[in-house]
Amino acid sequence: MLFSLKNVPKGSLVQSIESPDGSYTLNTYVSRNTLSLDAAGGELVNKKTIYWNYPDSSRAVKWINHNTVKIGNQTLHLDTDETYDWRRDDQWIREEPPQASVR
């Protein structure tokens, strides 16, 4: 299948988190009942969607440094345009990520 993060539903804005040096702002969204459980999205402001996970109703965000962010249990390197899309993850398990581990 051909999947793209361009057309995932945006949902409701939950929070905006700025990178430590202020060069990025990440908006996180929750899409209620998109499939049967909530889904979460993360979008770099004025850039693109970089995170799409299902199920995920309370994604946690932690900036590791100015261009690396951990969303849920996924660490993304923004300087290499890394993204996460659960539909492309061969190791994906249908369960909420362990949010408490990233806080």
Q: What is the pLDDT of residues 14-57, one digit of tens each?
A: 889 899 998 899 988 887 765 667 788 888 887 788 988 888 87
First to last CA, the chain: 34
At 46 the pLDDT is 73
pLDDT of 72 above 80: yes
pLDDT of 1 above 90: no
Give the separation between CA 50 and CA 37, rounded to whole angstroms.
20
User: Taking residues 67-95, what's their average pLDDT?
Assistant: 90
User: Taking residues 60-79, what's their average pLDDT?
Assistant: 90
Domain boundaries, the chain: 5-87
